[in-house]
A and B are shown apart, each in its own frame.
Chain A
């Protein structure tokens, strides 16, 4: 043991000094290893620092209070909650049919124990006036300066509000509103003016657009003002910060839960109960998943990525160690002559890896620490939350450092074994021999290729599991990497037909597989990965292009506003028309039931809704609701279901298009123009006051479509739950079913405003559809976004731009990455080849070769390595991608058949289209441009005249 240690010390000393002597090479390898280590450790530091301790988390949510009480909105029935106070359900059993889920407010204040200090914390939202226009922001009423609330908000400037006409704002709000401390602030439709007294931040949500006022100073008067304007009252919610000596234990929390109140308690967070003591977790489907096994898959994925990255680094750095060992042959021979056994020689070369690995680990670590520490404010901004502290987890950092050292050692392992295999005499005399490459490795590689291919084949043909295909491909890929020396040998056969320089280069590369193979393997691995991903991505692109369904006709624009009864609609319409190249504008309206300020499906007081009725005869038999709640499809056989799936009643409406309440728009003929519906009958029917129908099932036998106005949604819900007819006034319209089945982009019915008015329907403006002269440019879109932001309105804006390739950038980045790796690896191999070929070059010069031959030769050497790697890599990369695609096709076909069998929605669509597309542009770039570029680069940086004859030793 000690013997081993002492001889390693000597080896490390030699390696350390050598690393220092050859700084350039050492730095290259060090950088290769240190960069990923820097990234990983910086990530670790950032994530760990961002992680909060329970105490810090509680300070940020509770301030100095002991608990936060909130309304579980379960109408006061007992609830079950998790210790963090994030999840809760009613304690009783409300799932059985006929039981209705408890829903309603609870008076939280009643559950607060006597003798506690209480602070209210209310939240609502308002449209606030800014320097540019309006900004939707959260309004929070909390006495932030109170000692109990201390820690929730961090004051940045000025002070928290002390009077009712003062307000504080988050720094983010001040930034985006253009206001500053001292400015005045008001809200739309509100006559009060506030002075901004200070700015603050929420440590866990730096991106929050929030203002803070004293309790009662904003929300209540604002709600009154809004209601007075006839708009629905903005929602607000209040929670209570409670401070009580002794805090709230888990038992107390459970007792309070019985009153329907949710509690976030500091004491519970600091000392969480065991899972067995949490009744919520005993409920089916509510188990505590936090520490579950879902991490295993993520861990495996991370492990694979790290492993592959390490392999790639090893393959790139390996040749550098090989040159090192090569250059110091004489030195290693001397060690051998002085009694160094093979293990000692191995130790010296391995120590090279060890030394670089340790240095890389140190450099990476220190840089990561410094950078993370220095860039902390930026990182916090990026993550949107303040760190809990600068957390350094020594064990994790050690593990990362160990990874660096392991990478260094692994890179040096093959050169070390090769160097130790040399006889002492050969090392001393410096005889250059063709080193026979290891024969075992290619055999193992061949075995791995067969095995991996078999697994992948099994995966894609017999089973259809991605894991098998991916795993098999990965094994086969590693096998190809291991086979590289043998494959490189095959390339040598081509050399006899080549002219001098490339022939020399190829022969040299093949004869010295020890240095060529790792470089080729590095290129192979990088290119194979790139080609695999590119092929897969190109194929999925083709698939998604084929499956793409436009929301609107190409170039058309829709801008819809549902809030506040369409109050901002005119401005929005104007903004679109002003900024975009609009051709036709079609104003659209919607039917409003109840108060005009209600949004669709608004559950506020006095708000109703409408339904377009589907006649019972036209309902799809597979979907009808049954009295007992059972699945109607079960009544049918598989064949019947397959047949019904293609029945016209069961064809689901197209999933694409703009979502419109009930599929019904109130609009005039221009809409048809925008939507590209050129049936002359349709325009005429619309003008005649008929309802245009694009969906056949909604038209009853008499050719009419019914619209039911539901003024009491709650009663309607109850009726629906009990399978009774829904109460409401039914308006019937003569329908014109548009012939053919033109794509109506989600619109199922259109009614003219005049007809709607005639039928006594209330309509409110919804927005507009536009057709354009050309596709709006990015600048125009940005301008429109800015205009809309100034309005502070919630606008649903859709600009149909056709199918957009989202993978393009990724593919480009991958190609560039593979190109860089290829050039790097080929460059390293070329450097090695030059060091080896110095003698040959001298001979060449002596025979009378012109100086340019030297340039040519190194260019070809580089090109040869790049070309071999790229060719092998492309072949190795296309296959797994094809395998994956085949698997996907099988899987999707299976889903499709299953859907047909069960008569599920959408089953009537065409069978899935899973194409395999080879990305020829990427391949061409990799196969031709990259080797060519590498060759040119190498030729350019090579001096055509050699350095003066130096002794071959050292």
Chain B
């Protein structure tokens, strides 16, 4: 991970309080987190630890009680609703647990959607979408509707949509939650490869096996980061000739 680059996502002293008075719940307490281009960060923690809240605030779907969120250097907490929508069109891609795709649109149209909403001509948006799909070996799905695709295919198309255009930040909320182990793997492999190709990714999961695909795993407890792992050189663990593989 290269620390020189500007982080794709920076959270600074982020807090979020739900409700007030007796029903007050501190979902996040002073989170600091940087995610750099090329990095995939997994956020783990027991349910209720604030994982999903963190993700929604990072994507501008929710607003923090205090603290700042910088996406590619811009403080998004200062943006209005319109600005946030534009940000989601241009900078942030979301992948949810399931039903990511709009049933009325084909895979290509789904991928093209953020671009079209942004006002790009339908033809250009489609070209971009087809390119994005092809790059992820999903070209054959282009003209299928969501209900003609398997769950894993849908999630992969959703990742393609999250990264179409200039978007370089993927926020994934349990992207494998609704999938079996094998299919979940393929989705993560795709996410991994996109991050290796330069995107930044934040993924919330409670499955250690999927979190292990990340470069860094952040442990969240009671709304605060308690620990994180950094990927070591795998060779340190395994010796012998196998390392050359």
Residues of A at the B interface (CB closer than 8 Å) are 2-7, 9-10, 13-18, 21, 330-331, 334-342, 344, 423-425, 428, 953-954
Which segment of B54-62, B204-212, B229-237 sits at the interface? B54-62
Assess whether A17 is in contact with B59, with CB atoms less than 8 Å apart. Answer: no
Determine the interface band of chain B, counting residues with CB < 8 A from chain A: 35 or more
Determine whether B7 belongs to the interface, using a CB cutoff of 8 Å to chain A: no
Main secondary structure of the interface of A (DSSP, over half): helix
Assess whether A331 is in contact with B102, with CB atoms less than 8 Å apart. Answer: yes
Assess whether A334 is in contact with B119, with CB atoms less than 8 Å apart. Answer: no
Q: Which residue of A lies closest to B81 (CB)?
A: A342
Assess whether A340 is in contact with B116, with CB atoms less than 8 Å apart. Answer: no
Given contacts A341-B82, A425-B61, contact A7 B103 (CB under 8 A): no
Residues of B at the A interface (CB closer than 8 Å) are 56, 59, 61-62, 81-82, 85-90, 92-94, 96, 99-105, 109, 112-114, 116-122, 125, 161
Assess whether B116 is in contact with A337, with CB atoms less than 8 Å apart. Answer: no
Contact of B85 among A16, A334, A336 (CB under 8 A): A336
Given contacts A7-B117, A7-B119, A339-B118, contact A13 B88 (CB under 8 A): no
Assess whether B81 is in contact with A341, with CB atoms less than 8 Å apart. Answer: yes
Given contacts A7-B118, A344-B117, contact A13 B103 (CB under 8 A): no
Distance A403 CA – B59 CA, assembled complex (angstroms)? 42
| Shortest Cβ gap from B166 to chain A (Å) | 12
Contact of A339 among B90, B121, B125 (CB under 8 A): B90
Contact of B119 among A2, A331, A337, A340 (CB under 8 A): A2
Distance A423 CA – B63 CA, assembled complex (angstroms)? 11
Residues of A within 8 A of B85 (CB): 336, 339-342, 344
Q: Which of B61, B62, B85, B125 has its CB near the most chain A CB atoms (within 10 A)? A: B85
6 contacts between A and B (CB under 8 A): A3-B118, A6-B119, A6-B120, A7-B118, A337-B96, A339-B118
Distance A333 CA – B104 CA, assembled complex (angstroms)? 14
Assess whether B94 is in contact with A954, with CB atoms less than 8 Å apart. Answer: no
Given contacts A6-B122, A10-B122, A425-B61, contact A338 B117 (CB under 8 A): yes
Assess whether A10 is in contact with B113, with CB atoms less than 8 Å apart. Answer: yes
Contact of B102 among A4, A335, A341, A425 (CB under 8 A): A335
Contact of A341 among B86, B113, B125 (CB under 8 A): B86
Distance A334 CA – B146 CA, assembled complex (angstroms)? 14
Assess whether B116 is in contact with A338, with CB atoms less than 8 Å apart. Answer: no
Distance A383 CA – B82 CA, assembled complex (angstroms)? 59
Residues of B within 8 A of A2 (CB): 119, 121
| Shortest Cβ gap from A326 to chain B (Å) | 15
Residues of A within 8 A of B112 (CB): 10
Residues of A within 8 A of B90 (CB): 339
Nearest 6 CB-CB pairings of A with B: A339-B89, A3-B119, A17-B104, A341-B85, A339-B88, A10-B116
Assess whether B88 is in contact with A338, with CB atoms less than 8 Å apart. Answer: yes
Given contacts A6-B122, A9-B122, A425-B62, contact A338 B89 (CB under 8 A): yes
Assess whether B59 is in contact with A14, with CB atoms less than 8 Å apart. Answer: no
Residues of B within 8 A of A336 (CB): 61, 85, 88
Given contacts A334-B100, A339-B87, contact A7 B116 (CB under 8 A): yes
- 4 more contacts with CB within 8 A, not counting A13-B109, A344-B117, are A2-B119, A7-B119, A339-B89, A339-B90
Q: Which residue of A lies closest to B120 (CB)?
A: A6
| Shortest Cβ gap from A55 to chain B (Å) | 50
Q: Which of B102, B116, B120 has its CB near the most chain A CB atoms (within 10 A)? A: B102
Distance A14 CA – B102 CA, assembled complex (angstroms)? 8
Assess whether A954 is in contact with B103, with CB atoms less than 8 Å apart. Answer: yes
Residues of B within 8 A of A342 (CB): 81-82, 85
Q: Which residue of B lies closest to A4 (CB)?
A: B119
| Shortest Cβ gap from A783 to chain B (Å) | 66
Contact of A337 among B86, B94, B120, B122 (CB under 8 A): B94
Distance A16 CA – B104 CA, assembled complex (angstroms)? 8
Residues of B within 8 A of A9 (CB): 116, 122
Distance A425 CA – B120 CA, assembled complex (angstroms)? 26
Distance A893 CA – B199 CA, assembled complex (angstroms)? 87
Distance A330 CA – B102 CA, assembled complex (angstroms)? 9
Q: Which residue of B lies closest to A330 (CB)?
A: B99
Residues of A within 8 A of B89 (CB): 338-340
Assess whether A334 is in contact with B102, with CB atoms less than 8 Å apart. Answer: yes
| Shortest Cβ gap from A761 to chain B (Å) | 93
Distance A14 CA – B103 CA, assembled complex (angstroms)? 9
Distance A330 CA – B146 CA, assembled complex (angstroms)? 14
Q: Which residue of B lies closest to A21 (CB)?
A: B104
Distance A728 CA – B87 CA, assembled complex (angstroms)? 106
Residues of B within 8 A of A340 (CB): 85, 88-89, 117
Distance A428 CA – B173 CA, assembled complex (angstroms)? 12
Residues of B within 8 A of A18 (CB): 104
Q: Which residue of A lies closest to B171 (CB)?
A: A337
| Shortest Cβ gap from A333 to chain B (Å) | 9
Assess whether B117 is in contact with A339, with CB atoms less than 8 Å apart. Answer: yes
Distance A339 CA – B112 CA, assembled complex (angstroms)? 12
Given contacts A341-B81, A425-B62, contact A335 B94 (CB under 8 A): no
Assess whether B99 is in contact with A13, with CB atoms less than 8 Å apart. Answer: no
| Shortest Cβ gap from B86 to chain A (Å) | 7
Q: Which residue of A lies closest to B161 (CB)?
A: A338
Contact of B94 among A4, A10, A338, A953 (CB under 8 A): A338
Residues of A within 8 A of B117 (CB): 7, 10, 335, 338-341, 344
Contact of A14 among B61, B86, B105, B161 (CB under 8 A): B105
| Shortest Cβ gap from A136 to chain B (Å) | 69
Assess whether A331 is in contact with B103, with CB atoms less than 8 Å apart. Answer: yes
| Shortest Cβ gap from A585 to chain B (Å) | 81
Assess whether B103 is in contact with A21, with CB atoms less than 8 Å apart. Answer: yes
Distance A16 CA – B86 CA, assembled complex (angstroms)? 25
| Shortest Cβ gap from A944 to chain B (Å) | 30
Distance A342 CA – B112 CA, assembled complex (angstroms)? 19
Residues of A within 8 A of B56 (CB): 425
Q: Which residue of B lies closest to A1 (CB)?
A: B119
Distance A336 CA – B60 CA, assembled complex (angstroms)? 11
Residues of A within 8 A of B101 (CB): 334
Residues of B within 8 A of A16 (CB): 104
Q: Which residue of B lies closest to A9 (CB)?
A: B122
Q: Which residue of B lies closest to A339 (CB)?
A: B89
Residues of B within 8 A of A10 (CB): 109, 112-113, 116-117, 122
| Shortest Cβ gap from B141 to chain A (Å) | 17
Q: Which residue of B lies closest to A6 (CB)?
A: B119
Distance A256 CA – B92 CA, assembled complex (angstroms)? 88
Q: Which residue of B lies closest to A951 (CB)?
A: B99
Q: Which residue of A lies closest to B85 (CB)?
A: A341
Distance A21 CA – B146 CA, assembled complex (angstroms)? 13
Residues of B within 8 A of A339 (CB): 85-90, 92, 114, 117-118
Distance A344 CA – B114 CA, assembled complex (angstroms)? 11
Distance A6 CA – B104 CA, assembled complex (angstroms)? 17
| Shortest Cβ gap from A420 to chain B (Å) | 10
Assess whether A14 is in contact with B88, with CB atoms less than 8 Å apart. Answer: no
Q: Which residue of B lies closest to A954 (CB)?
A: B103
Distance A334 CA – B56 CA, assembled complex (angstroms)? 13
Distance A342 CA – B81 CA, assembled complex (angstroms)? 8
Assess whether B96 is in contact with A428, with CB atoms less than 8 Å apart. Answer: yes
Q: Which residue of A lies closest to B109 (CB)?
A: A13
Distance A341 CA – B82 CA, assembled complex (angstroms)? 6
| Shortest Cβ gap from B63 to chain A (Å) | 10
Distance A107 CA – B88 CA, assembled complex (angstroms)? 92
Distance A10 CA – B129 CA, assembled complex (angstroms)? 14
Distance A340 CA – B161 CA, assembled complex (angstroms)? 14
Residues of A within 8 A of B92 (CB): 339
Distance A871 CA – B121 CA, assembled complex (angstroms)? 52
Distance A428 CA – B100 CA, assembled complex (angstroms)? 10
Distance A338 CA – B86 CA, assembled complex (angstroms)? 9
Q: Which residue of B lies closest to A424 (CB)?
A: B61
| Shortest Cβ gap from A466 to chain B (Å) | 49
Q: Which residue of B lies closest to A347 (CB)?
A: B117
| Shortest Cβ gap from A890 to chain B (Å) | 56
Q: Which residue of B lies closest to A425 (CB)?
A: B61
Distance A423 CA – B62 CA, assembled complex (angstroms)? 9
Residues of B within 8 A of A334 (CB): 96, 99-102
